[in-house]
Every structure is written in structure tokens, then in C-alpha cells.
């Protein structure tokens, strides 16, 4: 970095810091003036008025407020804070003027141009924030919940976002206007549906071994035989052969029947077709 660039950056940073402090001081001054305005309006609304943008008040109004002991106490309580904050603002303005005078003549125009660009960028960012805030306030009820539901559903179901937002907006031109409560209930339903989609997507790898075992009848029979055999071995190891032949046979039969019913139920809810049945249908065709 050259000496000129370093000096330019130093002056820009100094002015930016002073501008930021000056902006903060002016906001504090305006806030204290609004506080005084509201305090006076509570005591004498006939003189002050509800709009704090009228500050500073006219001289006649201020004189009338000083004649009233209640409003005079309010003025005397707030006036020192406002005066001190005004002095801070004036002091910062003096420092900014001094900082501008201390900039070399050959650097003054580039520094001021850079400062103007920064001010314009900050103003643009503030305007964009206000526009986004107004859009959020003017959006139909349930809009944010619907956007959250689309985010929960994930990129695999990104197409649902447009459909959900369209359902939430309704069709006022066709007489299909939704009330706020109906929109909120619809948005809550979208969130629940998105949660179900996300849970189904996350649980899909866990179902892969089950689907693999259910895909052929031989695997189903092998799994049932292995589980029933493990139960028989456990009964024989703990209670002996006599218990296995007397009570274990019934327990193993119940277990086998239950596992078979479970496999048929899983076939139905998982919609897994047996591979042997598919091959048989293909051969018949």
C-alpha cells in the first residue's frame, strides 16, 4: 500500500468514525426530545399535541408551558439532558469540520467522494431493511410459517413452496379469500406436513434393511426361522430340553405366527412386492 493510499484510508476511517458518533448522538437527541414531547403531552395535550415531529415547540407554546408549574417541572427535568446532548452534537460537528480541514488538498476530493459512497450504501441498506420490514408486516398471516415449512421440507421438496404460498394467498378474484384464522391453521398444517416429509426422509435409510428382507419370500422365511430358532436355543439353554418340548414349542409357535403377521403388515404399509411374485407375473406375460 502506497503512502497516498494509506493517508486516504486513514482520513476516511477517521471521518467514518466521527459520522457514526454524530449519527448516534443525533438519534439520542431526537429520542430525548420525543420523550419530553410525550411527557408534556400527557400533562397539557391542549398545548403540545400528539405529534412529536413538531419539536422544537414554538416560543409562545414554550412560554405557556413554563407558566404552568406541572409542565415547568417536566421541562426542567428534561432540559439539561437535551442541552447536554445538543452540545455533544455541536462538538462532533466541529470535530468533523476540523477533520475535513486537516485533509490535504489533493486528498480532500477523493476522501469526500469515498465518504459519500459509504453514506449512499448505508442509506440503500437502510431502505432495503425498511422495505423488508414493511413486506413482513403487510404479508398475510401465516406467511412466515409457510416459508418455515418450505425450509423444513428441504430441497427435495422445493416445489411445494410455491404451491403452499399459492394456497395461502387464495384466489380473491374468484371469491376464494381466506380469513386470518384459516390462513394460520393452513400454515400450521403445512409445518406438520413438512415435518412428516423430513422425518420420512431421515428414516428412509433405517428402513432399507427391512425392505431388503421383505423383498423376497425366502428372506422373510429365513428371518422368521432365525428368530424362532434363537428363541428355542435360549429356552433350551435356560430351562433345558424338557421345558423346550413342553412350553417352548407353544412360545415358538406364537412367536412364529406373530412374526409372519408382522411381515404381512410391513408388506402392506411399506408397499413392498415380493420379487418372486413379480418374476412369476413376468413369466406369465
Model pLDDT for residues 148-183, shown as the tens digit of each residue: 888 888 888 888 888 887 777 776 666 666 777 888
Residue 58 carries which DSSP code? Answer: P
In the chain the first and final C-alpha atoms are separated, in Å, by 80
CA distance 44 to 75: 12
* pLDDT band at 284; cut points 50, 70, 90: very low
pLDDT band of residue 136 (cuts 50, 70, 90) is: low
pLDDT of residue 52: 61
C-alpha distance from residue 109 to each of 8, 9, 23, 101, 206 (Å): 10, 13, 22, 12, 67
Residue indicated by cell numbers 413342553: 246
How confident is the model over 20-28, as a mean pLDDT?
A: 87
**What three-state secondary structure class fits 176?**
strand
Say if residues 150 and 161 touch (Cβ distance below 8 Å): yes
Instruction: Give the per-residue pLDDT at 285.
Output: 46
- Say how far apart CA 173 and CA 272 lie, in whole Å: 46
pLDDT confidence of 59, banded at 50, 70, 90? Answer: low
Residue 231 has pLDDT above 60, yes or no: yes
Average pLDDT score, the chain? 78
Q: Tell me what percent of the residues of the chain surpass a pLDDT of 90.
A: 1
pTM over 0.85: no
pLDDT in the model for residue 279: 46
pLDDT digits (tens, 9 = 90+) for 69-128: 777 787 778 778 888 888 888 898 888 888 888 888 888 888 888 888 888 887 778 777
Burial class (CB in 10 A: 0-12, 13-18, 19+), 11: buried
Q: Please tell me the predicted confidence (pLDDT) of residue 131.
A: 63
Amino acid at each position: 500500500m502506497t503512502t497516498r493510499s494509506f493517508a486516504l484510508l486513514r482520513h476516511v476511517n477517521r471521518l467514518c468514525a466521527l459520522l457514526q458518533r454524530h449519527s448516534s448522538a443525533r438519534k439520542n437527541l431526537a429520542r430525548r426530545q420525543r420523550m419530553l414531547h410525550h411527557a408534556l403531552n400527557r400533562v397539557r395535550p391542549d398545548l403540545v399535541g400528539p405529534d412529536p415531529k413538531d419539536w422544537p415547540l414554538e416560543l409562545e407554546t414554550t412560554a405557556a408551558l413554563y407558566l404552568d408549574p406541572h409542565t415547568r417541572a417536566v421541562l426542567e427535568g428534561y432540559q439539561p439532558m437535551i442541552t447536554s446532548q445538543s452540545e455533544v452534537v455541536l462538538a462532533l460537528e466541529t470535530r468533523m469540520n476540523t477533520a475535513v480541514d486537516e485533509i490535504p488538498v489533493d486528498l480532500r476530493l477523493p476522501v469526500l467522494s469515498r465518504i459519500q459512497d459509504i453514506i449512499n450504501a448505508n442509506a440503500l441498506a437502510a431502505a432495503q431493511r425498511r422495505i423488508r420490514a414493511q413486506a413482513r408486516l403487510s404479508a398475510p398471516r401465516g406467511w412466515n410459517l409457510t416459508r418455515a415449512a418450505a425450509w423444513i421440507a428441504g430441497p427435495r421438496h422445493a416445489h411445494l413452496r410455491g404451491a403452499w404460498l399459492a394456497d395461502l394467498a387464495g384466489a380473491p378474484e374468484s371469491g376464494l379469500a381466506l380469513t386470518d384464522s384459516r390462513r394460520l391453521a393452513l400454515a400450521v398444517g403445512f409445518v406438520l406436513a413438512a415435518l412428516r416429509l423430513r422425518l420420512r426422509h431421515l428414516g428412509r435409510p433405517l428402513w432399507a434393511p427391512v425392505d431388503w428382507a421383505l423383498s423376497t419370500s425366502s428372506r422373510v422365511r429365513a428371518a422368521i426361522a432365525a428368530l424362532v430358532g434363537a428363541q428355542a436355543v435360549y429356552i433350551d439353554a435356560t430351562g433345558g430340553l424338557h421345558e423346550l418340548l413342553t412350553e417352548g414349542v407353544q412360545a415358538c409357535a406364537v412367536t412364529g405366527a406373530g412374526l409372519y403377521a408382522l411381515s404381512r403388515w410391513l408388506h402392506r404399509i411399506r408397499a413392498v412386492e415380493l420379487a418372486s411374485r413379480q418374476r412369476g407375473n413376468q413369466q406369465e406375460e
